[in-house]
């Protein structure tokens, strides 16, 4: 290709990558942005940069903060992927010119798409790849072997300090290049570069930089160290693999049949990898999280699909239903699995802590929301989580712990996109009276105490009942209590709550599923139904359910019964 065609080729690669990322993964970028914190602070910069791979890490965190803006995540990531492709092509051409190099050079970029859309992957790894490819381009421009040898001895430790573990990948590519350049002294380079990597490992472990060899010379350094991510290994091996194929094809001025078959297989495998992404559930969860973060309850309800959901997503759906006052109507509309479908326990992950903290905060259980925010923030691998830091500010203001809130505000003030909000919080707590005028804080504080009882308990049910008593205008605690008793088939507790609170401000009416439970409590007492607000429509539906069950002699809950009554408490009560 000439220069114009080459430019067009890479422009197409960039545009295609940007469209793919924006259309298929746009909510991922919003989600990834909140999992880190970048501070405009000298000490923060020093702590990041003055560690092996720190420069690449600092650059990654700086750019990821801009993912808070629409389209920026896709456009910037596509630019990084294209840059990797361009530099890979230059390295391949320096070793062995071949028409196949255009396709071989995008192999790492295609794998990077998969890596970049994994929350366990750190963009630091991509900046590290760019650094080693730039170093390889410089390395291969030098004709003298002795000069290359001296330069590489200097480059390997420099790259380790700038990019981290990728220095070992650079050493591997440099050794392969000497072989493919038909250098008879390649073994000298191989021995020298290997010895240098061994020295780096020894120094790193003895100086306490890093004790785990995986994080010194292997791609695990750019992902969650507790998770073995095979795609990163495939990514790293794609560079030497492309180099080997380029050397094999070097003598072909045109693509022969054998070459075409190999490249076709490569492209098919890459397309299959991207098109049959097995992480769709994760991306659906990230879309839901975007709506949760922005309190778009209707969007959460409209986009929920039972077949593409997990326990956390069901919890968020039920929060949206409760916020819309619909939880009592649709508790069983999506086949719940016990009380955990209403409110699950924390699974010790940062991702689950984000969702559960939002749920408890909305209900009014501020202490639990704060605890989850703290635990989730501590478990962050990227110096903190801006969303959870903001929650810690909110909860400490509600508790009137202004000095603690100010510590978190001081951190957020040093960020680009959260500084304005942090200053607003700071102004709010500058006067306790001003904080009391804020509608949200006033409402949340109202639920904390009442009748001398502080709304904190080891039992969520007890806490929610305290919340309901402290602030009868807030209906979420009662909605959750009733939903948990019904999904737990605890009719005794349901009866107590219903008879104690029905037609009070905290429970003015009963939802459809609540009315079904009232009938279950007294199947042969229509007077009890009327007294507790059972509608004629629910009564009529029960007659139909009872008639069908009698025809089946109470032995079968078949597909037709599920189709007709699967969203009722009666069906749930009798099912396993």
Rounded mean pLDDT, 542-550: 88
Tens-place pLDDT, residues 217-260: 999 999 987 777 778 899 999 999 999 888 887 755 555 555 55
What is the per-residue burial (b if ≥16 Cβ within 10 Å, else e) of 335-362? Answer: ebeebebbbbeeeeebbbbbbbbbbbbb
Confidence band for 443, pLDDT divided at 50, 70 and 90 = confident
Backbone dihedral region of 422: left (phi > 0), alpha (psi from -120 to 50 degrees) or beta? alpha
| pLDDT value at 457 more than 80 | no
The encoded tokens of residue 406 equal: 């100010």
Rounded mean pLDDT, 353-380: 94
Rounded Cα gap, residues 482 and 470, in angstroms: 17
The encoded tokens of residue 238 equal: 């794609």
Rounded Cα gap, residues 320 and 325, in angstroms: 9
| pLDDT value at 84 more than 50 | yes
Looking at every residue in the chain, the average pLDDT score rounds to 88
Output the pLDDT for position 281: 80
Alpha helices for 72-144 (secondary structure H): 72-95, 101-104, 107-116, 124-141
| pLDDT value at 405 more than 60 | yes
Tens-place pLDDT, residues 116-162: 999 889 999 999 999 999 999 999 999 888 998 999 999 999 999 99
Output the pLDDT for position 363: 95
Single out the residue of 65, 20, 1 nearest to residue 416, CA to CA: 65
Rounded mean pLDDT, 464-481: 92
Q: What is the 3-state secondary structure (H, E, C) of 555-569?
A: CCCCHHHHHHHCCCH
Output the pLDDT for position 452: 45
Per DSSP, 308 falls in state G
Q: Provide CB contacts within 8 A for 437, sequence distance 6+.
A: none
With beta carbons less than 8 A apart as the criterion, state whether 416 and 40 touch.
yes
Q: 260-274, 304-318, 359-373: which has the minimum mean pLDDT?
A: 260-274
Q: Three-class SS of residue 502?
A: strand
Rounded Cα gap, residues 436 and 442, in angstroms: 6
Per DSSP, 45 falls in state H
Q: Other C-beta atoms within 10 Å of 221: how many?
A: 25
Angle, CA of 185, 187 and 188, to the nearest 5°: 70
Single out the residue of 90, 99, 29 nearest to residue 64, CA to CA: 29
Q: Provide CB contacts within 8 A for 111, sequence distance 6+.
A: 231, 234, 235, 238, 270, 273
Per DSSP, 278 falls in state T
Output the pLDDT for position 544: 92
Q: Is residue 540 packed enough to be buried (19+ CB in 10 Å), middle (13-18) or exposed (0-12)?
A: exposed
Rounded Cα gap, residues 9 and 89, in angstroms: 12
DSSP E strands: which ranges in 300-369?
none
The encoded tokens of residue 509 equal: 């009416």
With beta carbons less than 8 A apart as the criterion, state whether 315 and 341 touch.
yes
Output the pLDDT for position 172: 93
Output the pLDDT for position 258: 59
Output the pLDDT for position 264: 62
160 or 209, higher pLDDT: 160
For residue 74, the number of C-alpha atoms closer than 13 Å in the C-beta half-sphere is 16
Tell me the percentage of the chain whose pLDDT exceeds 90. 61
Rounded mean pLDDT, 66-72: 96
Q: What's the longest Cα–Cα distance across the chain?
A: 99
**430, 436, 438, 441: CA torsion to nearest 10:** 100
Confidence band for 428, pLDDT divided at 50, 70 and 90 = confident
Q: Cα–Cα distances in Å, from 395 out to 353, 378, 440? A: 15, 16, 11
What is the per-residue DSSP string for 197-234?
HHHHHHHHHHTTS-S-THHHHSGGGGB-TTS--HHHHH
| pLDDT value at 331 more than 90 | yes
With beta carbons less than 8 A apart as the criterion, state whether 290 and 318 touch.
no
Q: 17-21, 236-240, 347-351, 554-558: which has the minimum mean pLDDT?
A: 554-558
Rounded mean pLDDT, 550-558: 66
Single out the residue of 469, 457, 485 nearest to residue 343, CA to CA: 485
Confidence band for 450, pLDDT divided at 50, 70 and 90 = low
Distance from the Cα of residue 287 to its chain's centroid: 10
Single out the residue of 479, 473, 480, 467 nearest to residue 439, CA to CA: 473
Rounded mean pLDDT, 389-417: 94
Output the pLDDT for position 96: 84
| pLDDT value at 38 more than 60 | yes
Distance from the Cα of residue 358 to its chain's centroid: 15
């Amino acid at each position: 290709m000439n220069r114009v065609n080459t430019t067009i080729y890479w422009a197409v690669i960039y545009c295609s990558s940007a469209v793919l990322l924006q259309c298929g993964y746009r909510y991922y970028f919003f989600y990834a942005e909140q999992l880190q914190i970048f501070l405009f602070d000298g000490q923060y910069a020093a702590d990041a940069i003055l560690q092996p791979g720190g420069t690449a890490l600092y650059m990654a965190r700086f750019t990821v903060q801009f993912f808070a803006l629409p389209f920026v995540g896709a456009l910037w990531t596509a630019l990084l992927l294209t840059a990797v492709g361009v530099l890979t092509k230059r390295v391949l051409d320096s070793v062995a010119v071949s028409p196949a190099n255009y396709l071989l050079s995008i192999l790492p970029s295609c794998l990077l798409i998969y890596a970049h859309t994994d929350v366990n992957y750190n963009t630091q790894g991509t900046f590290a790849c760019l650094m080693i490819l730039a170093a390889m381009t410089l390395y291969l421009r030098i004709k003298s072997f002795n000069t290359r040898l001296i330069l590489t001895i200097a480059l390997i430790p420099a790259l380790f300090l700038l990019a981290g573990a990728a220095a070992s990948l650079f050493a591997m590519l440099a050794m392969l290049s000497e072989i493919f350049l038909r250098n008879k002294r390649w073994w000298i380079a191989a021995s020298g570069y290997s010895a240098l990597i061994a020295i780096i490992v020894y120094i790193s472990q003895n100086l306490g930089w890093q004790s785990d060899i995986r994080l010194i010379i292997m791609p695990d350094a750019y992902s969650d160290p507790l998770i073995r991510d095979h795609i990163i290994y495939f990514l790293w091996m794609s560079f030497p693999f492309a180099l080997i194929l380029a050397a094999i094809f070097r003598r072909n001025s045109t693509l022969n049949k054998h070459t075409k078959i190999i490249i076709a297989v490569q492209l098919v495998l890459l397309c299959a990898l991207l098109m049959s992404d097995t992480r769709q559930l994760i991306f659906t969860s990230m879309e839901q999280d975007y709506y949760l973060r922005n309190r778009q309850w209707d969007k959460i309800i409209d986009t929920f699909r039972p077949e593409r959901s997990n326990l956390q997503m069901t919890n968020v759906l039920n929060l949206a239903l409760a916020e819309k006052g619909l939880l009592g109507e649709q508790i069983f509309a999506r086949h719940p699995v016990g009380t955990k479908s209403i409110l699950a326990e924390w699974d010790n992950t940062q991702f689950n802590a984000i969702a559960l903290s939002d749920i408890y905060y909305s209900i009014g259980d501020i202490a639990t929301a704060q605890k989850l925010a703290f635990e989730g923030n501590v478990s962050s691998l990227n110096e903190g989580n801006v969303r959870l830091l903001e929650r810690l500010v909110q909860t400490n203001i509600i508790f009137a712990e202004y000095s603690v809130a100010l510590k978190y505000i001081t951190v957020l003030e040093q960020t680009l996109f959260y500084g304005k909000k942090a200053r607003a919080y700071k102004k709010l707590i500058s006067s306790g009276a001003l904080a009391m005028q804020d509608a949200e804080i006033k409402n949340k504080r109202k639920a904390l105490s009442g009748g001398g009882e502080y709304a904190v308990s080891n039992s969520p049910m007890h806490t929610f009942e305290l919340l309901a008593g402290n602030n009868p205008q807030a209906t979420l605690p009662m909605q959750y209590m009733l939903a948990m008793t019904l999904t737990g088939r605890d009719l005794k507790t349901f009866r107590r709550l219903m008879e104690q609170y029905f037609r009070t401000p905290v429970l003015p009416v009963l939802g459809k599923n609540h009315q079904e439970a009232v009938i279950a409590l007294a199947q042969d007492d229509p007077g009890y139904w009327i007294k507790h607000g059972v509608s004629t429509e629910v009564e009529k539906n029960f007659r139909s359910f009872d008639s069908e069950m009698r025809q089946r002699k109470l032995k079968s809950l078949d597909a037709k019964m599920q189709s007709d009554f699967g969203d009722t408490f009666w069906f749930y009560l009798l099912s396993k």
